């Protein structure tokens, strides 16, 4: 028989986690309840108010790991491009229970918030209690937290408590771009997705961030590829375009599965990339 725990605070969760037994955290459960792979001890964290905070200071925003999509769509602190991605996830009923922390920790190649979080260099905030009972908070960039398909850098005594995003990473961008390609508008797992953020000053690309979803074990982002564009005059984009597309053509190695083919995924990714970089011309 599965044992359920119902902590009310982050501290209570960490105390349970510091015990030896096998356990698993469950928030909305919209992924876990489909796979049905449970631990002997299940810790329900969907009613912890501390995990539902969304706040900001002058430099960064803080999103509690237990925030559900519905709350995020309606909150203007959340970056617009992230809200846009969330609007295309699943259906209203699932967006009422599914959490951002769950999407990250599930580490599905098709997790739709992931490419956006990669593009914004999101930081994963983790907490644990050590043997002396002291609370520790650690921060790790999302690209170092997600290690592969359903693999994350999280120790047994740790939990993800929040996501932090530096405002520099998305504010003052000239434009943002998000496209998801799925079988239908709603309740569709992505065939692929693409997110781009572009900063143009005096007709020169000052910064660009691009990430692809569902075309590799993790979201795909390359600073090297972005650097090809940085410093380019808008009037010279056509000349740079080929180099950028060739670069990502080599980098993106999708697979065939029940949702799409490698060939389609690659072609659609490159078309979206092309559309993004020539968007404001």
Applying CB under 8 A, which residues contact another protein? 1-4, 6, 26, 28-30, 32-34, 36, 38, 42, 44, 46-47, 70, 90-94, 96-97, 185-187
CB 264 within 8 A of CB 256: no
Minimum CB distance to another protein smaller for 42 or for 208: 42
CB of 155 to another protein, least distance (A): 23
* Distance of closest approach, residue 43 Cβ to another protein, in angstroms: 9
State in angstroms the smallest separation of the CB of 95 from another protein.
9
**Which residue lies nearer to another protein by CB, 24 or 243?**
24
Nearer to another protein among residue 26 and residue 270 (C-beta): 26
Nearest approach, Cβ of residue 32 and another protein (Å): 8
Nearest to another protein of 9, 47 (CB atom): 47
Q: Which C-beta is closer to another protein: that of 73 or that of 234?
A: 73
Compute the distance between CA of residue 214 and CA of residue 192 in angstroms, rounded to an integer: 5
User: Any bridge partners for residue 126, and if so which?
Assistant: 138, 160
Nearer to another protein, 131 or 185 (CB): 185
**Could you give the C-alpha distances from 39 to 44, 45, 47, 180, 223, in angstroms and in order?**
12, 15, 19, 33, 38
* Element housing 178 (H / E): strand 175-181
Instruction: Decide whether 48 or 228 has the Cβ nearer to another protein.
Output: 48
Q: Give the tokens for residue 265.
A: 């995924």
Name residue, tokens 């925030």. 67
CB 103, CB 111: distance < 8 Å: yes
Cα distances from 83 to residues 7, 23, 71, 80, 229, in angstroms, run 29, 32, 10, 5, 26
- State in angstroms the smallest separation of the CB of 40 from another protein: 11
Measured distance CA(250)–CA(232) in Å, rounded? 22
CB of 84 to another protein, least distance (A): 14
Euclidean distance between CA atoms 24 and 2, whole angstroms: 11
Within its chain, how far is the Cα of 129 from the centroid?
26
């Amino acid at each position: 028989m599965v044992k359920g725990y119902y902590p009310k605070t982050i501290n209570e969760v960490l105390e349970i986690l510091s015990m030896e037994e096998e356990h698993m955290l469950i928030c909305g459960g919209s992924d876990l309840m489909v796979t049905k792979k449970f631990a002997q001890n299940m810790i329900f964290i969907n009613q912890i108010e501390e995990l539902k905070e969304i706040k900001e200071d002058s430099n960064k925003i803080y999103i509690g790991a237990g925030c559900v999509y519905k709350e995020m769509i309606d909150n203007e602190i959340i970056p617009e491009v992230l809200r846009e991605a969330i609007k295309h996830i699943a259906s209203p009923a699932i967006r009422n229970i599914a959490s951002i922390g769950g999407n990250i920790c599930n580490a599905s190649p098709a997790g739709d918030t992931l490419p956006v979080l990669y593009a914004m260099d999101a930081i994963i905030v983790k907490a644990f209690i050590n043997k002396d009972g002291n609370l520790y908070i650690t921060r790790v960039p999302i690209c170092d937290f997600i290690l592969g398909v359903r693999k994350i850098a999280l120790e047994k005594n740790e939990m993800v408590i929040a996501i932090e995003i530096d405002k520099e990473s998305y504010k003052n961008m000239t434009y943002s771009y998000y496209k998801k390609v799925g079988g239908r508008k709603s309740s569709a797992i992505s065939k692929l997705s693409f997110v781009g953020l572009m900063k143009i000053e005096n007709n020169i690309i000052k910064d660009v961030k691009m990430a692809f979803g569902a075309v590799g074990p993790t979201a795909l982002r390359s600073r090297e590829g972005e650097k090809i564009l940085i410093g380019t005059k808008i009037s010279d984009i056509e000349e740079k375009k080929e180099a950028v597309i060739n670069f990502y053509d080599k980098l993106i190695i999708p697979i065939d599965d029940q949702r799409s083919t490698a060939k389609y995924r690659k072609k659609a990714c490159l078309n979206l990339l092309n559309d993004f970089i020539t968007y404001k011309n």
